[in-house]
Amino acid sequence: MKLTNISKNIKINRPQEIELKLDVENIYLPITKNDKLLIKLNQEIKKETIVAMKKNNIPIISSISGTFVGIDKYYNSNGELNDFLIIKNNYKEETLKKIPTKRNLLKYTKEIILIIIQKLGLKTDNDENLFIVLDREPSKLYINALEDEPNNFNIEFRLLKNRDLILETLYTILTIFNISQCEILIKDTNTKVIKEYEEYLGSYPNIKLRLVPDLYPISNYHILKEHLPIKEKEILLNLEKLYVLSYALKRQRFLTEKLLTISGSVVLDPKIYEIKLGTRVGDIIDYDEIIKSYDIWINNHLERKPLFSKDIIIDNNISSLIITIKTNEKIKPCNRCGMCYNICPFKLNPIYNHEKNITKPECINCGLCTYICPNNIKLNGKDFYNE
């Protein structure tokens, strides 16, 4: 499998610190007909209240304290128009009750951890329920701390800011589920994180760093499965999901905030924000102004998933907003140069698929085919928002 180096010749500014952006007027929580609503209109609620329950018993939690003021249509991170509960912020951050942090995570039993994971709805990078695969006592755990978008700094900040909790959680999971080894996957160019972790990993003999080349799109499960390789009974878990679990175990409550990087080739002063889950895009960026002159992409500018509305609600599937120069180059007819085929990690013949209007199931929508095409033909991203 041939991967691509895309980061050369790109000047990337790095945010300095995580900034808080938690004082939004409203937050918006997705609700479907199958979910059981547990609050009434105009009811005052505290932060972390379970406002609805999904069919599979996964709770929907409010990330602020305030009043339930109605239901309206907004876009989810997949670009679908859905119903959302609107909670108006009273800016008091009142929580249900004071719960002490857990001093020793090893006091948890296997059964309790599995229940917590099930309630959090955590899945592996292979889209399997984490509580099911952990219960089978896997032989090895990989933590995916790789980021393919060079402008996205969430993972790096998470690793550096929450190092002790991440390592304590990993040690607990390995011990309780009898897993002999864990490898944290880090790009070999990320010297800051490598230096920081190598100093501390001496105390955790079962946890190692595994350095991975800085090639695109190395963070994808299907690429890593072949590259590492990931064998049967081995799990790949994204770092941010591990952190959600870490927080739930340590603080004994649900995480109601998330990190969001706002960056890109035209952003001189990139930011990494801590925001409320359920924040509306238009409440954190001046969408109408930016979109006049620039393109805004969700998560990865090569994947070409456009931020098409200020009414998209940010959930755990949105990690960054990448702002770039507007792409208005003229599209020319295909000259059969074969560059898209050559660059595709799975050799899927993107132009053939494009002309036949099919997307092969193996396509991971990495966007390399569109990126390389000299005639500016949009070969990927058809599934996103009917682009």
Instruction: Name the maximum alpha-carbon separation found in the chain.
Output: 65
Query: Judged by CB, which is closer to ligand SF4: 307, or 364?
Result: 364
Q: How many C-alpha atoms does 7 have within 13 Å on its Cβ side?
A: 19
Q: How far apart are CA 106 and CA 101, in angstroms?
A: 13
Shortest spacing between CB 147 and ligand SF4, in angstroms: 17
Q: How far apart are CA 99 and CA 259, in angstroms?
A: 23
Q: How far apart are CA 184 and CA 239, in angstroms?
A: 9
Query: Judged by CB, which is closer to ligand SF4: 49, or 380?
Result: 380
What does 202-216 look like in DSSP terms, one character per residue?
Answer: GG-TTEEEEEE---B
Query: Judged by CB, which is closer to ligand SF4: 5, or 104?
Result: 5
For 58, other C-beta atoms within 10 Å of its C-beta total 15
Shortest spacing between CB 12 and ligand SF4, in angstroms: 22
Q: How far apart are CA 160 and CA 192, in angstroms?
A: 9
Binding residues for ligand SF4, rule CB under 6 A, total 27
Q: Is 369 in the site for ligand SF4 (CB under 6 A)?
A: yes
Query: Judged by CB, which is closer to ligand SF4: 183, or 303?
Result: 303
Q: Of 86, 130, 215, 379, which one interacts with ligand SF4 (CB under 6 A)?
A: 379
Q: Is 146 in the site for ligand SF4 (CB under 6 A)?
A: no
Q: Which range touches ligand SF4 (CB under 6 A), out of 57-65, 272-280, 323-331, 370-378?
A: 370-378
Q: How far apart are CA 236 and CA 318, in angstroms?
A: 20
Query: Judged by CB, which is closer to ligand SF4: 282, or 338?
Result: 338
Q: Is 373 in the site for ligand SF4 (CB under 6 A)?
A: yes
Binding mask 336-355 for ligand SF4 (x = CB under 6 A): xxxxx---xxx-x-xx----
- DSSP state letter for 100: P
Map the footprint of ligand SF4 across residues 311-340, applying CB under 6 A: 334-340
Q: Is 218 in the site for ligand SF4 (CB under 6 A)?
A: no
What token pair was written down for 54? Answer: 């999904």
The H or E element that residue 193 is part of is helix 191-200
Q: Which of 167, 223, 183, 202 is nearest to 3 (CA)?
A: 223
What token pair was written down for 341? Answer: 């085929």
Shortest spacing between CB 308 and ligand SF4, in angstroms: 19
Q: Of 181, 375, 382, 384, which one interacts with ligand SF4 (CB under 6 A)?
A: 375
Q: Of 367, 382, 383, 386, which one interacts with ligand SF4 (CB under 6 A)?
A: 367
- DSSP state letter for 78: T
Q: Is 278 in the site for ligand SF4 (CB under 6 A)?
A: no
Shortest spacing between CB 332 and ligand SF4, in angstroms: 8
Q: Which of 361, 271, 68 is nearest to 383 (CA)?
A: 361
Query: Judged by CB, which is closer to ligand SF4: 215, or 242?
Result: 215
Asked if residue 284 lies in contact with residue 21, where contact means CB atoms within 8 angstroms, the answer is yes
Q: Which range touches ligand SF4 (CB under 6 A), out of 140-148, 155-163, 190-198, 365-373?
A: 365-373
The residues that touch ligand SF4, with contacts defined as CB under 6 A, are 334-340, 344-346, 348, 350-351, 363-369, 372-375, 377, 379-380
